[in-house]
């Protein structure tokens, strides 16, 4: 190769390398789409919008929340799995991602394999809530009512495979209560029908139910975590009545497998800064959220552990979705 051609080739390689470095340093250079696999009004939507506002302000580009509901969380997840792995599409990772791996027998993707963990956000308890029309005020009274009125209790969920569904299935298996599962496309419509009395009980994620509990439009019987929830210290745990019962929800961010490590690390670092901010921590605490900080690998471990945990619950309950 002539000397001039060699120099030209070397210059081109150096220039391209420089562009790559600049691109990584400047990320993001355009808006980032954040897919929430549920409709507005639920915990996933609330958390995404809180964090999207922070990321937009701190990173100089808009993080646009897009609600892609349906399929028990799977439609939105598949949209991210099949999106370009360029760092500009994110998924609001939630318990259904771990649950569906065993609940659904046929999925067009493998969540653990096809989504790269980016950052954890929070872990929250679910809360056992009932319509005000139901004549019960404690978990024990609910169990007694259920057994005395077979076929009269409809259990809402924010979709098949969600933590709100499996929390209820776990309760059924541990108490012998007979409840008809009524899946919705998200917490918003489920809460509307709970308030209206069309369904009787909902094991909802605390952040979406908390305003309605505090406003008196629904009644809380207990939180699903092992310990009482600091934001509602007067509320007992379900485990106080049903020994050994425990279920919590967890939320974070994922990207398509193969997304640039630079993008993953930038998002992770900024989310960790948000979780360390006193005002953000206070806001999340009001929703019952305990921060899940750490590296992408740390969040990957949470995903793996939760996927394994709920696979055992799915097997024990016999729940399945074709």
Taking the C-alpha atoms of residue 114 and residue 122, their distance in angstroms, rounded to an integer, is 22
User: Which pLDDT score is estimated for 14?
Assistant: 41
Taking the C-alpha atoms of residue 298 and residue 80, their distance in angstroms, rounded to an integer, is 21
Taking the C-alpha atoms of residue 251 and residue 44, their distance in angstroms, rounded to an integer, is 8
Domain boundaries, the chain: 9-123+249-317, 125-240
The tally of CA atoms less than 13 A away on the side-chain side of residue 119 is 21
Q: Mean pLDDT, to the nearest integer, of 272-288? A: 94
User: Which pLDDT score is estimated for 11?
Assistant: 40
Span of 5-14, 93-102, 127-136, 239-248 with lowest mean pLDDT: 5-14
Taking the C-alpha atoms of residue 37 and residue 20, their distance in angstroms, rounded to an integer, is 32
Q: Which two tokens stand for residue 16?
A: 């391209």
Class of domain 9-123+249-317: alpha beta
Three-state DSSP class for 35?
strand
Give 220's strand partners. 129
Question: Residue 37 pLDDT > 80, yes or no?
Answer: yes
Taking the C-alpha atoms of residue 197 and residue 119, their distance in angstroms, rounded to an integer, is 38
**Out of 2.40.50.100, 3.40.190.10, 3.40.366.10, 1.10.3720.10, which CATH number does the structure's domain 125-240 have?**
3.40.190.10
pTM over 0.75: yes
Summarised one tens digit per residue, pLDDT across range 168-191 is 999 998 999 999 999 998 899 999
Summarised one tens digit per residue, pLDDT across range 104-113 is 988 999 999 9
Output the CA angle 39-45-47, nearest 5 degrees: 170
Q: Between 271 and 249, whose confidence is greater?
A: 271
Quote the DSSP letter at residue 226. Answer: S
Q: Between 151 and 300, whose confidence is greater?
A: 300
Alpha helices in 104-238 (DSSP H): 111-114, 139-148, 163-175, 187-196, 206-215
Summarised one tens digit per residue, pLDDT across range 142-161 is 999 999 998 899 999 998 88
User: Which pLDDT score is estimated for 18?
Assistant: 39
User: Which pLDDT score is estimated for 322?
Assistant: 64
């Amino acid at each position: 190769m002539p000397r001039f051609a060699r120099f030209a080739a070397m210059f081109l390689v150096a220039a391209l390398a420089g562009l790559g470095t600049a691109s990584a340093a400047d990320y993001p250079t355009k808006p980032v789409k954040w897919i929430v696999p549920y409709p507005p009004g639920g915990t996933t939507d609330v958390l995404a919008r809180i964090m999207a506002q922070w990321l937009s302000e701190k990173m100089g580009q808009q993080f646009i929340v897009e609600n892609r509901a349906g399929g028990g969380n799977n439609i939105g997840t598949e949209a991210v799995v099949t999106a370009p792995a360029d760092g500009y599409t994110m998924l609001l990772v939630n318990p259904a991602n771990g649950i569906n791996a065993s609940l659904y027998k046929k999925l067009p993707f493998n969540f653990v394999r096809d989504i790269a963990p980016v950052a954890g956000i929070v872990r929250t308890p679910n809360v056992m809530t009932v319509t005000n029309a139901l004549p019960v005020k404690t978990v024990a009274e609910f169990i007694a009512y259920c057994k005395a009125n077979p076929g009269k209790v409809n259990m809402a969920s924010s979709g098949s495979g969600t933590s709100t569904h499996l929390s209820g299935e776990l309760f059924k298996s541990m108490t012998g209560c007979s409840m008809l599962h009524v899946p919705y496309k998200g917490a918003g419509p489920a809460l509307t029908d709970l308030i209206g009395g069309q369904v009787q009980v909902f094991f909802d994620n605390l952040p979406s139910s908390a305003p309605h509990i505090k406003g008196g439009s629904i009644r809380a019987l207990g939180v699903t975590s092992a310990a009482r929830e600091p934001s509602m210290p007067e509320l007992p745990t379900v485990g106080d009545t049903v020994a050994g019962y425990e279920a919590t929800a967890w939320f974070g961010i994922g990207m398509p497998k193969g997304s640039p490590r630079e993008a993953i690390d930038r998002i992770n670092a900024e989310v960790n800064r948000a979780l360390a901010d006193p005002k953000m921590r206070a806001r999340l605490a009001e929703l019952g959220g305990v921060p899940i900080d750490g590296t992408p690998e740390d969040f990957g471990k949470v995903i793996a552990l939760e996927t394994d945990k709920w696979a055992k619950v799915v097997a024990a309950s016999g729940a399945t979705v074709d």
